[in-house]
C-alpha cells in the first residue's frame, strides 16, 4: 500500500518557483537542438582531390579553402557535415576564381546518399588491352573513381576512371584491361558521383545547385528543406578559393527561450528522444514567405514530401503545442485552413491538401485515403483540445460534420468499416478491417467530445450511440480468441497486426482479462529495431517498421499500465535515431525503417513528423500531464513512472504553465510529486474529493500496483484558478 499526502499549498509566485529552482532545473536546455544562430556552419569537413585548408570552412579562421581541378584529374570536392538536420539556403563566399570553373552543390540527410555509385553493364564483348569501354549507361561516373568489372563466374577487375563520354556512353580506364570482358559484364564504381537525395518533384524545392563563377563574391544556392551533409564539387578544370561556406537556416529556429514546454528526466536517452521529437517538428515548419508561400504550414517531412498530411498532424499537433505552445499554434491553424479550403463537396478532407508541386508551389490536393480524411477531422479536435480556440473550431464545425458523414458511408450493416484503403503504410486492406473500424470509432468519440464542448449535445448523443455499436461489433466479430488478439480483417482473421491491436488496447476494445494476451501477441512482432507492422506486411519500398504504428503501440502499452514495455519499445524504435554514432543520425526522427534498422531508399525522410510521438507521450504518459478540457481548462496528472527515478517538466496551456516534477523510488515505494500551476487550475476535484487552498491536507490511500497513475486517476481532473499553488504527493 502507498499512503499519499496531498497538501495543496497557496504560494506566491516566488515561493512556487523555488520548488523548481534546483541546480539541475535548467539542464534541459542542453538538449535543445536548434542552432544558436541563423548563420550555420559545418562542424566537420573532408576533402577529396586537390583541396587546400579545408578545415577553414569549419573554424571560419585561417587561410582560404582552395579547390583545384585539372583535366583528367579527380574533381576537387569538400564534404561538409553539419552534425544534425538543418534546412535553408547554402551560400559560398569566393575570394578568388581562376579559369572557367563549374561548381556543383548537393545535399543529403545521410552521408551514404550524397554520392551514387554507377551500376550498369558492358553491352558488347571487349577484348584484352582495351582502355575505352562501352557502357549501357554513363550515369554516376566521375573521373578518379574506381570502376570494377565482374563477369559471371569471373574474377573482378578494378581500374581507375581516367575519362568518360556521357553522350557516347564510354569510359576510359587505366591501366588497360588484363582480360576479355564478355557482354553483360556487371559494372560498379566507388565512391560514386555527387547526387542529391531530395525528391524535387514532390517537394518543389531542392536538387543540385550549379554555379559558374567568373569573379569573387557571394553565390547563393536554392532552398533545401532538410539535410545534414553538403558536397561541393569543382567539376570542371579551374580553381576557386572560399572564405566561407554556410547555410542561412530557414526552418523554425527554436532556442531554449522559445520552448514554452520542456521535459527532463533521470534517463538521458528519454530526454534525447523528447528534444529530437521537438526538433523534428521545428524542421517540419515552413515559415511565412519561405518557398514563395505567404502562409505558415506544418509539412510532413523537412526534405520530403514537404506537404501537409493529416496522419502526421495527429502526432505533430500535440507535440508542437506541448513544446512551443502559442509559437506553434499559427502553423497548426494555417495548415487546418488549407484543409478547409480543399475539402471535397462530398465532405472528404484530402489526405494532403498541397501534395503535388510540379506545376504550383502551393501544391494541389491528394485524396489519398478515406482513413486520412478522418484523421483530418481529428486534427481539428486536437487543435481545440490543446489551445481552447473555441471560435475557430465552432466556425469549422459544419465542415467537420460533413467529413463525419463521409466517413459514415464506409460503415456496413454489421457496423464495421469496409474500405479498400491504403492508410499510412500504403497497402490495401479488404473486408471488414479492424483498424479502420476502430479508427472510425475514435473519430466518433472525438466528434462527440467536440459537440458536447462547443456544438450540439444532441448530435453528440448520436455519435456516441454509433461508436458504441461499432465497439460491440469489433469485439464480437473481429476478436480472434485463438490468437488472443484482433486479426487484421474479416478476410485475414489470423494475421496479427500492430496498429489495430495497439489501438484496441488504448481505446478499451480488448475483452476483459485479455490485455496480457494482446500485449504478448504484439511482442511477437518486435525486432531489435522496433515492431514490424505484421507478418508479411511492408510498405511499397520494403520498409517493415513504421514509427507511426510503433507510437500507437507505446500509447496502448502505457494505457494498460505496461510502462516497461512502452519504454522498451521506445528504446528499440527511437533509441538508434538519437544515437549520434548511427550513420543515419540527424537529430530528428525517421519516417520508417527496414528489418535491419536502416532505410531502403535515398529519398526516405529522416526528419518526419509522424515519428515524433515519444515527445508528447513522455509528457503525457511518463511525466503525466494531459489536457481534459479544451485548452487545459481541466487537466489530469497521472504519471506512469515505471523504473524511471525522476522526471520534471512544463506544459504550456491557455491558462498558464503547468509545472510538475516527481521522484520515484521503486524499492521503497516512495513517490513524491510536486505541481505548480495557476490557482485557476486548482478549484475542486471532479467527483467526491475536494481540496481547500491554504494548507488543507488530505490523506489518500491506493494500491501501488503496476503504476502510480491508478492513484492519480482516482479523481485528479482539476479545473482552473489563477494563483500559483503547489501540490505535493
Does residue 718 have a pLDDT over 50? no
Q: How far apart are CA 671 and CA 239, in angstroms?
A: 67
Which of 469, 706, 694 shows the shortest CA–CA distance to 9?
694
Q: Which residues contact 611 (CB under 8 A, 6 or more apart)?
A: 277, 280, 315, 547, 548, 551, 574, 577, 589, 590, 591
647-654 mean pLDDT: 97
Mean pLDDT of the chain: 90
Q: What is the pLDDT of residue 361?
A: 85
Domain boundaries, the chain: 2-31+624-728, 40-111+196-249, 115-193, 256-615
What's the Cα-to-Cα distance from 135 to each of 144, 182, 558, rounded to whole Å? 17, 12, 57
Question: pTM (2 decimals)?
Answer: 0.92
pLDDT tens sequence across 412-431: 999 999 988 889 999 888 99
pLDDT at 74: 97
Average pLDDT over residues 617-636: 97
> How much of the chain exceeds pLDDT 70, in percent?
90
Cα 646 off chain centre by? 26
Kindly state the cell numbers that stand for 698.
488530505
- Which CATH number applies to 256-615: 1.20.1440.230, 3.40.50.1980, 3.40.720.10, 1.50.10.10? 1.50.10.10
Q: CA 149 → CA 123, 155, 335, 544, distances in Å?
A: 12, 9, 52, 34
How confident is the model at residue 10, as a pLDDT?
A: 28
| Cell triple for 316 | 505533430
Tell me whether strands 670-677 and 658-665 are parallel, antiparallel or unpaired. antiparallel
Instruction: Report whether 92 contacts 41 (CB < 8 A).
Output: no
**262 φ/ψ sector (left φ>0, alpha ψ -120 to 50, else beta):** beta
Do 673 and 711 contact (CB within 8 A), yes or no?
Answer: no
Domain 40-111+196-249 -> CATH class: mainly beta
Q: What is the pLDDT of residues 441-477, one digit of tens each?
A: 999 999 999 999 999 999 999 999 999 999 999 999 9
Instruction: List C-alpha distances in Å: 726 to 11, 266, 457, 659, 676.
Output: 7, 22, 35, 9, 5
Separation of alpha carbons 118 and 187, rounded Å: 7
Partners of 157 in the beta sheet?
Answer: 149
* pLDDT surpassing 80 at residue 684: no
How do residues 126-137 score in pLDDT, each as one tens digit? Answer: 999 999 999 999
In 3D space, the residue among 222, 209, 219 whose CA is nearest the CA of residue 93 turns out to be 219
For residue 422, the model assigns a pLDDT of 87
- CATH T-level topology, domain 115-193: Thrombin, subunit H (2.40.10)
The DSSP line for 94-113 is EEEEEES--EEEEEESSGGG
**Packing angle of the helix pair 370-387, 390-408 (nearest 10 deg):** 160
pLDDT tens, residue by residue, 516-557: 999 999 999 999 999 999 999 999 999 999 999 999 999 999
Amino acid at each position: 500500500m502507498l499512503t499519499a499526502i496531498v497538501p495543496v499549498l497557496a504560494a506566491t509566485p516566488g515561493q512556487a518557483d523555488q520548488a523548481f529552482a534546483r541546480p539541475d532545473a535548467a539542464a534541459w536546455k542542453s538538449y535543445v537542438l536548434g542552432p544558436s544562430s541563423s548563420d550555420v556552419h559545418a562542424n566537420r569537413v573532408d576533402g577529396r582531390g586537390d583541396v587546400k585548408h579545408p578545415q577553414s570552412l569549419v573554424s571560419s579562421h585561417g587561410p582560404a579553402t582552395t579547390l583545384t581541378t585539372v583535366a583528367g584529374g579527380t574533381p576537387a570536392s569538400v564534404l561538409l557535415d553539419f552534425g544534425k538536420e538543418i534546412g535553408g539556403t547554402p551560400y559560398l563566399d569566393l575570394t578568388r576564381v581562376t579559369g572557367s570553373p563549374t561548381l556543383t552543390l548537393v545535399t543529403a540527410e545521410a552521408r551514404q546518399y550524397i554520392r551514387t555509385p554507377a551500376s550498369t553493364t558492358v553491352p558488347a564483348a571487349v577484348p584484352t588491352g582495351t582502355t575505352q569501354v562501352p557502357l549501357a549507361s554513363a550515369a554516376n561516373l566521375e573521373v578518379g573513381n574506381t570502376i570494377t568489372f565482374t563477369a559471371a563466374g569471373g574474377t573482378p577487375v578494378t581500374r581507375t576512371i581516367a575519362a568518360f563520354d556521357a553522350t557516347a556512353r564510354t569510359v576510359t580506364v587505366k591501366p588497360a584491361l588484363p582480360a576479355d570482358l564478355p557482354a553483360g559484364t556487371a559494372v560498379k564504381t566507388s565512391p560514386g558521383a555527387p547526387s542529391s537525395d531530395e525528391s524535387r518533384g514532390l517537394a518543389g524545392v531542392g536538387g543540385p545547385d550549379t554555379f559558374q563563377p567568373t569573379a569573387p563574391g557571394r553565390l547563393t544556392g536554392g532552398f533545401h528543406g532538410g539535410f545534414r551533409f553538403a558536397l561541393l564539387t569543382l567539376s570542371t578544370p579551374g580553381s576557386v578559393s572560399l572564405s566561407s561556406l554556410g547555410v542561412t537556416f530557414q526552418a523554425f529556429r527554436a532556442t531554449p527561450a522559445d520552448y514554452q514546454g520542456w521535459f527532463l528526466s533521470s534517463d538521458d536517452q528519454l530526454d534525447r528522444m523528447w528534444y529530437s521529437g521537438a526538433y523534428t517538428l521545428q524542421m517540419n515548419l515552413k515559415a511565412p514567405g519561405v518557398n514563395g508561400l505567404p502562409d505558415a504550414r506544418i509539412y510532413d517531412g523537412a526534405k520530403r514530401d514537404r506537404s501537409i498530411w493529416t496522419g502526421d498532424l495527429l502526432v505533430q499537433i500535440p507535440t508542437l503545442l506541448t513544446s512551443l505552445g502559442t509559437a506553434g499554434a499559427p502553423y497548426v491553424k494555417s495548415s487546418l485552413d488549407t484543409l478547409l479550403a480543399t475539402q471535397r463537396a462530398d465532405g472528404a478532407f484530402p489526405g494532403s491538401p498541397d501534395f503535388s508541386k510540379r506545376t504550383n508551389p502551393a501544391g494541389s490536393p491528394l485524396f489519398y485515403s478515406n482513413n486520412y480524411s478522418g484523421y483530418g477531422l481529428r486534427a481539428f479536435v486536437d487543435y481545440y483540445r490543446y489551445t481552447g480556440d473555441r471560435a475557430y473550431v465552432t466556425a469549422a464545425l459544419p465542415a467537420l460534420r460533413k467529413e463525419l458523414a463521409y466517413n459514415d458511408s464506409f460503415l456496413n450493416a454489421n457496423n464495421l468499416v469496409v474500405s479498400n484503403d491504403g492508410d499510412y503504410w500504403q497497402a490495401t486492406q479488404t473486408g471488414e478491417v479492424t483498424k479502420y473500424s476502430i479508427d472510425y470509432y475514435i473519430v466518433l468519440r472525438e466528434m462527440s467530445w467536440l459537440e458536447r464542448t462547443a456544438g450540439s449535445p444532441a448530435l453528440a448523443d448520436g455519435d456516441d450511440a454509433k461508436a458504441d455499436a461499432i465497439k460491440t461489433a469489433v469485439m464480437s466479430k473481429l476478436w480472434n480468441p485463438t490468437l488472443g488478439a484482433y486479426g487484421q480483417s474479416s478476410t485475414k482473421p489470423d494475421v496479427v497486426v500492430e496498429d489495430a491491436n495497439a489501438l484496441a488496447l488504448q481505446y478499451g476494445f480488448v475483452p476483459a482479462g485479455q490485455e496480457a494476451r494482446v500485449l504478448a501477441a504484439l511482442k511477437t512482432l518486435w525486432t531489435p529495431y522496433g515492431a514490424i507492422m505484421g507478418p508479411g506486411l511492408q510498405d511499397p519500398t520494403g520498409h517493415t517498421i513504421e514509427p507511426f504504428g510503433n507510437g500507437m503501440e507505446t500509447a496502448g502499452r502505457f494505457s494498460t499500465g505496461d510502462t516497461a514495455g512502452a519504454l522498451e519499445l521506445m528504446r528499440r524504435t527511437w533509441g538508434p535515431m538519437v544515437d549520434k554514432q548511427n550513420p543515419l543520425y540527424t537529430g530528428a526522427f525517421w519516417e520508417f525503417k527496414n528489418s535491419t534498422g536502416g532505410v531502403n531508399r535515398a529519398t526516405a525522410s529522416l526528419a518526419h513528423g509522424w515519428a515524433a510521438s515519444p515527445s508528447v507521450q513522455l509528457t503525457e504518459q511518463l511525466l503525466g500531464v494531459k489536457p481534459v478540457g479544451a485548452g487545459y481548462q481541466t487537466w489530469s496528472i497521472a504519471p506512469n513512472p515505471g523504473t524511471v527515478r525522476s522526471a520534471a517538466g512544463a506544459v504550456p496551456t491557455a491558462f498558464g504553465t503547468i509545472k510538475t516534477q516527481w521522484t520515484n523510488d521503486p524499492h521503497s515505494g516512495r513517490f513524491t510529486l510536486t505541481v505548480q500551476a495557476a490557482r485557476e487550475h486548482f478549484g475542486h476535484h471532479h467527483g467526491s474529493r475536494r481540496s481547500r487552498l491554504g494548507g488543507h491536507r488530505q490523506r489518500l490511500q491506493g494500491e501501488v500496483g503496476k503504476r502510480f497513475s491508478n492513484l492519480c486517476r482516482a479523481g485528479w481532473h482539476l479545473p482552473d484558478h489563477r494563483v500559483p499553488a503547489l501540490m505535493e504527493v
